[in-house]
Amino acid sequence: MRKNKKERQQLLQETIGDTPFITDEELADKFQVSIQTIRLDRLELSIPELRERIKHVAEKKLDDEVKSLHIEEIIGEIIDLQLDESAISMLEIKKEHVFSRNQIARGHHLFAQANSLAVAVINDELALTATASIRFTRQVMENERVIAKAKVVMGESEKGRTTVEVNSYVGNELVFSGEFDMYRSNPAQR
């Protein structure tokens, strides 16, 4: 059932507040209106487009937090970070990420997203991947959005290692999983 403009805009604000990384396309489907209507509503409500919302959240939170590498070295965009606990990043699969003949994402991009997230979550000046065990569970196509979720699993402190599990999803479907054994220069920081 369609809502009038005022009701729709109120629900739009609430929806974006609850799920700030929702796309205009998803909003259009949810409210059964055109993408243009969603863009006009966002404009009237001074709600920035998805990319700007992500950048705003990331810049606000990450500038001083990531210690193990520079923000621009991370593959994808970090949208949440709890050092030595968990992290989430998003990667939009574009033309430059896929094979030209079939539009399937090249695996090294999914690996790089997961690996850089595993490095970024470590609360240390130096974090390096010692070993990784990975599994691709489904092909990822051009124009899909990959959400990688990292979770730190404590390792043996005398080895100076931390294990990070990373699962990557398109929607609710698992597309990649990996376990990264991370060397850190200061195991006492755990």
| Nearest C-alpha neighbor of 188 from the set 64, 84, 80 | 84
Read off the DSSP letter of residue 2.
P
Residues in the chain: 190
* Domains of the chain by residue range: 5-47, 60-189
CATH code linked to domain 5-47:
1.10.10.10
Q: What is the mean pLDDT of residues 15-28?
A: 85
Q: What is the mean pLDDT of residues 138-160?
A: 86
Q: What is the mean pLDDT of residues 142-152?
A: 96
CA angle (166, 167, 173) in 5-degree steps: 175
| Nearest C-alpha neighbor of 124 from the set 182, 48, 80 | 182
Q: What is the mean pLDDT of residues 131-139?
A: 97
Q: What is the mean pLDDT of residues 102-130?
A: 93
Kindly report, residue by residue over 36-53, the tens digit of the pLDDT: 999 999 989 888 887 777
Q: Is the pLDDT of residue 55 over 50?
A: yes
Better-scored residue on pLDDT, 125 or 14: 14
- pTM, rounded to two decimals: 0.67
Q: Among residues of the chain, what percentage have pLDDT more than 90?
A: 54
Q: Is the pLDDT of residue 148 over 50?
A: yes
**Mean pLDDT, the chain, whole residue set:** 86
CATH code linked to domain 60-189:
3.10.129.10
Q: Is the pLDDT of residue 190 over 50?
A: no
